Amino acid sequence: MTKKKIIVFMPAHNEEENISGVIARVPRDFHPQYEVEVLVIDDGSKDLTVQVAHEAGADHIVSFPHNRGLGAAVREGLKQCCLLGGDIGIMIDADNEYPPEQIPDVLTPIISGRADYTFGSRFKGHIQGMKLHRRLGNYTFTLLQAILLRRWIYDGQSGMRGFSRDAMENAVIIHDYNYAQVLTINLVRQGYRLEEIPISYQVRTKGQSFIKFRQYVSSVIPAIYKEMRRPVSRKRKATVQMHRDEPSL
Ligand SMILES: Nc1nc2c(ncn2[C@@H]2O[C@H](COP(=O)(O)OP(=O)(O)O)[C@@H](O)[C@H]2O)c(=O)[nH]1
Ligand SMILES: [Mg+2]
């Protein structure tokens, strides 16, 4: 029996200290019907990220010659997942803050066919080390998305997200700087079913967050506005098969 494919992709910018730990922790053999591959999107790193990722066992590495931004990198990750024949994709930050061990949990709703888009949700799970101003920023941007989408969400800025093939093919990320909010607004408005799964999160101990408050707010707010103004047609294909024959994880 040929197996289906899950691709775990990581946007990475200067993560030589962290990325090997993330790649090593990716579970490769957790479902009998799926094989797992790792894809790194290197966004013009100036350190040894590419070499370290290669040595740690990344199956595919795509490098941008210059830094383009996290939104551009996630867009490229989704595109490459489709080109590489992924049936399911999952992104996880390369900075060791999110738990690769919980990839199976975050993908269960997609594998079972009840969701198209999932978040590993820190605020439904366990958080270690998040500073107060980051917590408040997360609450604010999550609340904004909940209001715009008229549905409750818990962790709108999660760096761990799963995608069905259909969602990957139709996702639009309208700016290069970031993806978090505009991607969720885009997919939910297209009718894709979102589910959040509790995860454990530990703030990075090495390297630096790229987020600067002013730049973040002045890039993200106009992008959210622009995304909300775009006409969106419902693209989600009806679920044909309920996958009842698949073993649960
Ligand atoms: N593609 C891309 N990825 C980046 C950039 N800056 C950071 N990242 C990656 O995006 C992920 C999240 O970045 P991080 O700075 O930790 O953001 P935070 O977790 O929200 O503080 C990590 O895997 C980083 O390597 C960038 O300029 N471009
Ligand atoms: Mg981070």
Q: Residue 13: how many CB atoms within 10 A of its CB?
A: 22
**Residue 232: its pLDDT value, please?**
85
- The neighbourhood of ligand 2, an ion, using CB within 5 A, equals 95, 97
Ligand 1 centroid, distance to 10 Cα (angstroms): 10
**Residue 233: its pLDDT value, please?**
86
Q: Residue 152: how many CB atoms within 10 A of its CB?
A: 10
In tens, the pLDDT along 100-110 reads 999 999 999 99
**Predicted TM-score (pTM) of this structure:** 0.93
For the chain, list the domains and their CATH numbers: 4-229 (3.90.550.10)
Q: Residue 241: how many CB atoms within 10 A of its CB?
A: 8
In tens, the pLDDT along 176-197 reads 999 999 999 999 999 999 999 9
In tens, the pLDDT along 111-130 reads 999 999 999 999 999 999 99
pLDDT band at residue 240 under the 50/70/90 scheme: low
Pocket of ligand 1 (CB under 6 A): 11-13, 15, 43, 67, 69-70, 73, 93-95, 97, 159, 209-211
Q: Whose CA is nearest to atom 2 of ligand 1?
A: 70
Ligand 2 centroid, distance to 208 Cα (angstroms): 8
